[in-house]
């Protein structure tokens, strides 16, 4: 998920580990609280995969109707959860945004969580990105991206092509 805001030279990356896997309603509430924090550049959700089809056994190939595979709404965007949310990585502009982010998590989560600062999302293009997005030209080896904030947010092994959600476009909060 990409949250558009101005990108500074040294953004801070925060990983939020809730004590439990989040239900879709709790995940939606938390993501909307994070969306309201001023200074959030981008966020990435991760967790246990929810399969679409049975992969082995007598029901192989049949659809899985998991109750947690729901459509949630974050900001202006609606998307279907394909994971049970177990972690959220958020990139913020500065220390003030970091403290606001912690308060948003405390408001949205009815249980404890870990809040770690570190480097979790890549910020420079790798070989996989060049393979996925291509080059601008043969003489210019820079990556052909509309927005460099999507680096590190797309799984190169994912079969789904549309697994990125832009929450807001070009407007600063």
CB 47 within 8 Å of CB 80: no
pLDDT digits (tens, 9 = 90+) for 2-47: 554 444 468 899 999 999 999 999 999 999 999 999 999 888 999 9
Angle between helices 24-35 and 95-108 (to 10 degrees): 150
Q: Could you tell me the two tokens for 59?
A: 């029901």
Q: What is the DSSP letter of 149?
A: G
Residue 68 has pLDDT above 70, yes or no: yes
The partner residues of 2 in beta bridges, in order of sequence, read 42, 166
Q: How far apart are CA 32 and CA 109, in angstroms?
A: 12
Q: Between 159 and 31, whose confidence is greater?
A: 31
DSSP string, 56-124: SSTTTTPBP--TT--EEEETTEEEE--EEEEEEEEEESSHHHHHHHHHHHHHH-SS-EEEEEE--S--S
- Domains of the chain and any CATH numbers: 12-121 (3.30.70), 124-158 (no CATH)
Number of neighbours of residue 93 by Cβ within 10 angstroms: 18
Residue whose C-alpha is closest to residue 9's, from 91, 120, 102, 115: 91
Q: Model-level pTM?
A: 0.75
Average pLDDT over residues 89-98: 92
Number of neighbours of residue 45 by Cβ within 10 angstroms: 23
Q: Could you tell me the two tokens for 5?
A: 């805001």
Average pLDDT over residues 65-77: 90
């Amino acid at each position: 998920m990409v949250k558009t805001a101005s990108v500074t030279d040294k953004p801070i990356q925060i990983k939020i580990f809730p004590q439990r896997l989040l239900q879709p309603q709790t995940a939606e509430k938390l993501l909307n609280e994070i969306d309201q924090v001023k200074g959030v550049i981008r966020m990435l959700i991760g967790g246990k995969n929810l399969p679409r089809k049975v992969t082995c056994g007598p029901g192989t190939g049949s659809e899985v109707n998991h109750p947690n595979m729901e459509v949630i709404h974050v900001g202006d965007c609606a998307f279907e959860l394909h994971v049970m949310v177990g972690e959220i990585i958020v990139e913020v502009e500065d220390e003030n945004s970091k403290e606001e982010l912690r308060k948003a998590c405390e408001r949205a989560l009815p249980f404890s969580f870990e809040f770690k600062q570190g480097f979790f999302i890549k910020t420079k293009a790798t070989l996989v990105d060049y393979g996925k997005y291509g080059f601008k030209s043969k003489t210019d080896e820079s990556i052909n991206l509309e927005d460099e904030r999507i680096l590190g947010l797309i799984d190169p092994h994912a079969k789904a092509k549309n697994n990125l959600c832009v929450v807001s476009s070009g407007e600063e909060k």
